[in-house]
Every structure is written in structure tokens, then in C-alpha cells.
Amino acid sequence: MFDLDGTLVHTAPEIAQAANWMLADLGKPILPIAQVQSYIGEGAVKLIKRCLTGDLHAEPDAKLFETAENIFFAHYANNVVASKPFDGVEAGLQAAQNKGYKLACVTNKPAQFTQPLLQSSGLDAYFEMVVSGDTLPKKKPDPMQLHHICAQLKIDEFEALLVGDSDTDVNAARAAGCFIITVPYGYNQGRAIDNSMVDATINDLTELTSLLTN
């Protein structure tokens, strides 16, 4: 199982652009890309709230949030397909597919953005299953998405692996009873991942299959 934002595709520039268009429409100051990137990982709702408040946990005015959400979704729909995969992603997915692994994408991104992004980047062909942030009632770090994928693909959790870039992925995998491998180049709210909590770290996806066969 593969996380999307920050693991497979470098989406931060386009998310930041859409967020800043939203803020400009609302008459608010725009934010540095690095700051918006630090807000990525727990779904669009939290991203928008963080952009409005400048805080990871604060709640904006409800009416303001509703307006902002509609604006953000409209802008992001116009540039989501501009994001590109990270180096090594396609080669790594192809190698895993050639080895006969069942591959799934699991993301907190809403489906209306997940599917166009996977299609435009050419990654959709690698996945037997895609679970987005609004596919189920709960999303990462809750383990529901991972349990669902394992059940649908008839794989025991202890034989499943999540590749991700954040504490959200680590916590979801641990809660589900799956293995977790992380990449160092993604989005983790500006923090380094605690390597003691993961099974392995790879520089990019081209290292994945050799690690699994060792």
C-alpha cells in the first residue's frame, strides 16, 4: 500500500498555489509554500483550517471555513493534474508489480482529486485498488482504510506493508498491524520521522523490492 501526497507525487506546489488563491480571494495574506507543505497529510479539511488559522489544531469560523472550502476545491480542481511523481516512483512501482505484489494506493486526499491525479501522472495502472480520504468514514491515522484494503485483496494485515512519508502513515500502519516503510523526502509537518517507529527507510521507491527480498 502506498500513500500518495509526499510519497508518490510531489503535490505541495499545486496545493500551496490553490491554498494561496483561496486566501487571496478571501482577502487574507498568502503563505510560503513550506508553511502550506507543513499542513499536508491529514486531508483537505484540516489543510484548509490550518491555512485559515496558521495553527495545526485551531478551528476557524464555521461560515468562513465553508466559504474557504468551496473556493479551495474549485481552485485545486484546476491545477491538481499538474503535480508530478517523485524520482524513482514509476520504476519502483513497476518493479513491485513485476514481482507479483498486489498494489494499492491509500490517501487522505478526496477522491475527486485522487483519481485525476493518478490518471494524469500515469500511476493509476499500477494499482488494483485505490482508497481515498472520503471512501470510508475514517482515514489515516485511523487503521480503517488499511483494514479495508487487506480485506478486499484477501491479505492478512501482518503480511501487508504501507509505504509512506509521515507520522500519519506510521500510526495508521501500527494501528492496523501492518509493516511500515518510509521515504525521507515527503511531508511530515516539518518533522523528521522517528526511525525507531518504522521497519525501514528507503531513499526512494527503486530500493523497495530489493529490501523486500532480503
CB-CB contact of 35 with 15 (8 Å): no
Dihedral sign of CA atoms 62, 16, 142, 114 in order: positive
Q: Rounded to whole angstroms, how far apart are CA atoms 178 and 147?
A: 9
Q: Is 199 exposed, middle or buried (0-12, 13-18, 19+ CB in 10 A)?
A: middle
Active site residue 3: yes
Query: Which residue blocks in 26-136 are alpha helix, DSSP H?
Result: 33-37, 44-53, 62-79, 89-98, 111-121
Angle (nearest 5°) at CA 139 between 131 and 109: 60
Q: Are strands 179-182 and 104-106 parallel, antiparallel or unpaired?
A: unpaired
Active-site position among 3, 165, 167, 169: 3
Q: Which residues contact 200 (CB under 8 A, 6 or more apart)?
A: 181, 182, 211
Catalytic positions are 3
